[in-house]
Amino acid sequence: MLNFTFKRDSLTKQLPKNLVFNFGYFGINIIIGLLLVPYFIDTLGVAGYALIPLATSMTSYVNLVILSLNSSVSRYLTIDLQKEDYNTANKTFNTALFGTLGLVLLMLPVALIISYYAPEFFEISSEQKQDATLLFIGVICAFLLRAWSSNFGVSLFAYNRLDLQKTIDSINLITQVILIITLFTIFSPKLSYIGFSYLLGALIASIITIYFSRKVNPHLKIRFKDFELSQLKKITDTGGWITITQIGTLFYLQIDLIVVNRLFDTVAGGEYSIVLMWSILLRGVAGLFAGVLTPVVLSYYAKDKFEEIISMSKSSVKFMGLTMALPIGIVCGFAPIILSIWVGPEFIKLWPLMLVLLLHLVINLSVLPLFSINVAYNKVKIPGLVTLFMGIGNLLLAIALPLITNWGYYGVAIAGAIMLTAKNALFTPLYTAKIMDISRNTFTGSMLLGITLAIIVTGISRIIYTYLDISSIVPLVISCALISIIYFGFSWTTCLNKKERSILVSFIPLKIRRQLKIAQYS
């Protein structure tokens, strides 16, 4: 049974519970994601499947401004609520709620136009045109609905109730899948059914978000009189620069699939999407950890606990690098057999693309915890401009490399790896260290440790795959388990000091610690 109570001293104590729910949601996400891809390929074909991630990627462009404003609202509302300034909090909430509603209504015609012309832009066959249009409409409108209702979800974020947020996300995901499979089974596989399933799932999730928000935070009331232009200006000033950052991020993370579909064809887009799925999953793992820390960083900032922010940021980058090195190394090392078991032996040819798309993520995901610090300190202008200009550079390079090298969609993947790593290995850690007034090299060592371990794990996994009989799922699972056990033991004893081990132990829920009699390091 879910607990809706909140205690002011429970922000950090909530971390273990949030992690459990986050990784529970991720477990559901990865199982559904890995099973749905071969299901869609079997029912819709590779070209048909390619339209699904394409439609979801287009939502990123439609929701750009709204999601950026929500990030800004999260900052201000979290600080207001942590200071128990409920009068200002209500003004922030209602300004965001009605302001976002206006944006959603303005964007609906844009969503319809994009949905109508998308089949023409991506040269979709006439047989699939109507279903593709309905897919785009359903998916984009679902994202708009969730973006508006997320104004209520900010209360859950502010009080660090990410367990409730992930419960809502799980309900949304499970609803989508049940509807898709039911409609595909009763009628026939159609892209339009996927769009309908996304929209209904978003509606149910939005209703639950509003209910949970009212339970956790009864202080906020829906009142149009609390809408203030001065408050909107403050939100949009921060949100504007976050929007710039988001535009640049889209040029990094969402543009490659569009470029592949435009430069080549939908079959190439489908093949690229298959491997890209693993990148999305790994980003999801990292996002879970970074997302858990964000409300804590904002609450520390509201209470002027700057030393705690510095300590948390140092440890977070190191933990993220160590955590991501293992799954990235395993997936890259065993890429051929994973592709063969997952989607079929005809896709083994894509294993080099797996390395290009995934290996650099060790560096680029390890810095995720630092992004919330820019928002907390309200230092978002320079990161926004740098991300935008380098994102545009990524787009240009992604178009140029395939044309001048004949590398095909490998050129698109290489362009993304080069430009994203250049930004996150150099600018992000240096700028964050500057605004926190700490040593420029604070985060460099942790990042180098992560990429070194990822390369080692990849090499060991590749050797095992090459010289042992790893041709089915059982020896693959056993090999991955053995590598993981050795890796965790090595990392725990060699890569972490006593304080860092103590922090990790604190992430384990107290009840489990007591049952297992795990001692707290000091």
Provide the b/e sequence for 104-135 (b: ≥16 CB within 10 Å). beebeeebeebbeebbeebebeeebeebbbbb
Contacts of residue 155, defined as CB under 8 A and 6 or more positions apart, other chains included, come to: 77, 81, 213, 216, 217, 220
Q: In total, how many domains does the chain have?
A: 2
The verdict on 94 and 222 lying in the same domain is yes
Residue 213 and residue 71 in one domain: yes
In a domain, 27, yes or no: yes
HEC sequence for 493-521: HHHCCHHHHHHHHHCCCHHHHHHHCCCCC
Residue 390 counted as domain residue: yes
Q: Residue for token digits 């490399």? A: 401
Output the CA torsion sign for 488, 328, 361, 242: negative
> How many Cα atoms occupy the beta-carbon half-sphere of 504 within 13 Å?
18
pLDDT at res. 521: 46
In a domain, 522, yes or no: no
Beta-carbon contacts of residue 147 (< 8 Å; ≥ 6 apart): 63, 66, 67, 70, 100, 104
Q: What is the pLDDT of residue 8?
A: 45
Question: Residue with structure tokens 């403050």?
Answer: 234
151 and 278 inside one domain: no
Q: Please tell me the predicted confidence (pLDDT) of residue 3.
A: 52
Residue 400 Cα distances to 120, 404, 405, 415, angstroms: 24, 6, 8, 9
Considering the domain boundaries, does residue 246 fall inside one? no
Position 199 scores a pLDDT of 94
Per-residue pLDDT of the chain (522 residues; tens, 9 = 90+): 455 554 444 555 677 777 788 778 878 887 887 888 889 989 988 878 878 877 776 665 555 555 566 666 777 777 788 778 888 888 888 888 888 888 788 888 887 888 888 777 766 777 788 888 999 899 888 888 888 888 888 888 778 788 898 899 899 999 999 999 999 999 999 999 999 999 999 999 999 999 999 888 888 888 888 888 777 777 666 656 666 666 667 766 677 888 888 888 778 888 888 888 888 888 877 877 777 777 677 777 777 777 877 777 888 888 888 989 999 999 999 999 999 999 889 889 999 999 999 999 999 888 888 887 877 787 778 888 888 888 888 889 999 999 888 888 899 999 989 998 988 888 888 888 888 888 888 787 778 888 899 999 999 999 999 888 788 889 999 999 999 999 999 999 898 888 878 777 766 666 666 665 555 444
pLDDT at site 6: 47
Please tell me the distance from the alpha carbon of residue 5 to that of residue 507, in angstroms, as a whole number: 20
User: Residue 96 has what pLDDT?
Assistant: 82
Q: How far apart are CA 286 and CA 79, in angstroms?
A: 25
Specify if 115 maps to a domain: yes
Task: Say if residue 424 is in the same domain as residue 377.
Answer: yes
Shared-domain flag, residues 213 and 345:
no
Domain ranges, residue 393: 256-509
Q: Are residues 216 and 287 in the same domain?
A: no
- pLDDT for 337 equals 93
Q: Do 338 and 393 reside in the same domain of the chain?
A: yes
Regarding whether 199 and 111 lie in a shared domain, the answer is yes
d(C-alpha 97, C-alpha 373), whole Å? 25
Can you tell me the distance from the alpha carbon of 384 to that of 249, in angstroms, rounded to the nearest whole number? 9
Please indicate, yes or no, whether residues 446 and 323 belong to a single structural domain of this protein: yes
Kindly state whether residue 238 falls inside one of the protein's structural domains. Answer: no
Which of residues 186, 212, 227 is at a domain's end?
227
Q: To 5 degrees, how large is the angle CA 324–CA 328–CA 331?
A: 150
* pLDDT attached to residue 150: 85
268 and 178 share one domain: no
313 & 402 share domain:
yes
Q: Tell me, yes or no, whether 514 lies in a domain.
A: no
Q: Is residue 362 part of a domain?
A: yes
Same domain, 490 and 354: yes
* Packing angle of the helix pair 229-253, 64-82 (nearest 10 deg): 130
